[in-house]
A and B are shown apart, each in its own frame.
Chain A
């Protein structure tokens, strides 16, 4: 594996997280608990979709096969998608949506901080831009964690349930493979082992403020680094890719 191959994969993974999580949030359009929150979720969906485009444009250039960003999104099969399992979890209820966003945004914030200093100008530029958005996503999600955790009996129960359900997908965020190790040598990738400690501390701090129990670290689900996903992803892609696959010759 060359450095360029590794960087291509790395950008693909970053783009996949963004496009899939963005898609899940986009599903919530016209489904927010009140209009202002509906718009806030759409806004986050927009941020992720926008950054996905930047990651995929770069990935497509690195790949050098004449693909466009859209080709990578709309013509790639599920076994070649590398988003974290957490990002494809269904919306279930507002508690799940917020917990998913919170757990991911804490990770994303430290990740993007690291990548902002990456020895690859293009990647660093995208990370710096994305970090500004992620800081807002994080404060939005953390506020809701506290509001729901300390709100009513029902909101506390639901947000705790979501946390318990999603915890098993958090281990995967810190897995590293050859791609990460090779890029680390070149000062490009983030060291996820260091990140994990930062993530744990910040998550714990917010859960304490919210009066929520940190679930125990049991078995952690894995697979996405190798393109092994839950059954949910295939359905998401079937919907997302439907037009492009039905009319392969058409431009939109």
Chain B
């Protein structure tokens, strides 16, 4: 029997090296905890804020079936928000605190939701491209080092792939529909393509932040590698339904076996993420307004707990 005790930091490092999950009660460096709180809460907020652009079309869905699919999809996203808030709570932050950070701009959400959903084809494009890009990232996160986050991702990924297929189905139908429908589908692809690619973030080759996330095994693949995976699978899907990827530089590279693409407008990315996208204010204001309108309901619910009746 050893008489020496292992320092908490070593236990953590050994677990990470052995590829074991870190669980809520395990020792972990403060920066690891903070990194995860930031990342998981941002992910949760993205699910919740993402309900808005799609919610914008529920009352105009053109058939009972499409209305139900969209309602169920948005409901799934809200559910993802709930799992993720719970996962973040295991790190010692409350949902109220996270919501406050969202509403005061201290916490972010995926910048892609700062773009507007303008036509019904956008509902197709969001499912196909935005959920499609999210899946690529989330598949990687199923193997992330923090246990509750990794497990939340396993549940979430199954549903996301439904969303992706349903979105693609809308696009396929519209692309093969009337000339107006085809035009709407192409227009939605034109507007959502670059924002979807930028969801993976700028190249993280030189980012210290990313380097640390790799060492902690929170992140397991680079932004560029994930983006490439998404491009490769999506380009072919567009071809199948007769839509054109809006990138004149797009071509298949025989040597690498991947599609090469033109440059992305990272100035726009930074402008939008820093507040000047088409819908930033609208999204946060909506969240704040609804939260304020619901205050009296939450207060009443807190006063009368269910065991009283």
Contact = CB atoms under 8 A, between A and B. Distances in A.
A93 B51 contact: no
Interface string B157-186: 000000000000010011001101100000
Nearest to B290: A31
Interface string B231-267: 0000000000000000000000000000000000000
B296 A70 contact: no
Contacts of B55: 29-30
A35 B68 contact: no
Main secondary structure of the interface of B (DSSP, over half): helix
Given A70-B64, A146-B309, A46 B300 contact: no
A154 interface: yes
Nearest to B53: A30
A147 B300 contact: yes
A170 B120 CA distance: 36
Nearest to B50: A30
Main secondary structure of the interface of A (DSSP, over half): helix
Contacts of A52: 64
B304 A146 contact: yes
B60 interface: yes
Contacts of A26: 58-59, 67, 71
B190 to A, nearest CB: 20
Contacts of A50: 68
Contact of A49 (B67, B81, B174, B309): B67
A148 B309 contact: no
Please tell me the size bucket of the interface on A: 35 or more
A53 B64 contact: yes
B45 to A, nearest CB: 11
Given A30-B290, A33-B297, A70 B68 contact: no
Interface stretch (B13-21, B72-80, B191-199, B272-280): B72-80
Given A23-B59, A29-B51, A250 B177 contact: yes
Given A30-B51, A151-B303, A239 B60 contact: yes
A204 B274 CA distance: 54
Contacts of A31: 290, 293
Nearest to B289: A31
A49 B64 contact: yes
Interface string A31-65: 11111111100110110011011001000000000
Nearest to A146: B309
B303 to A, nearest CB: 5
A243 B293 contact: no
B71 A29 contact: yes
Contacts of B303: 150-152
B299 A243 contact: no
A151 B300 contact: yes
Contact of A32 (B65, B294, B309): B294
A69 B65 CA distance: 10
Contact of A46 (B59, B62, B63, B72): B72
Interface in A68-120: 69-70, 73-74, 93-94
A135 interface: no
B229 interface: no
Contacts of B298: 33-34
Nearest to B66: A252
Contacts of B281: none
A155 B78 contact: no
Contacts of B120: 243, 252
B207 interface: no
A232 interface: no
A66 to B, nearest CB: 17
A3 interface: no
Contacts of B85: 35
Interface of B: 48, 51-52, 55, 58-68, 71-72, 74-75, 78-79, 81-82, 85, 120, 170, 173-174, 177-178, 180-181, 286, 290, 293-301, 303-304, 306, 308-309
18 contacts: A29-B51, A29-B55, A29-B74, A29-B75, A30-B51, A34-B294, A46-B71, A46-B75, A53-B64, A147-B309, A152-B300, A155-B299, A155-B300, A244-B62, A251-B173, A252-B66, A252-B120, A252-B173
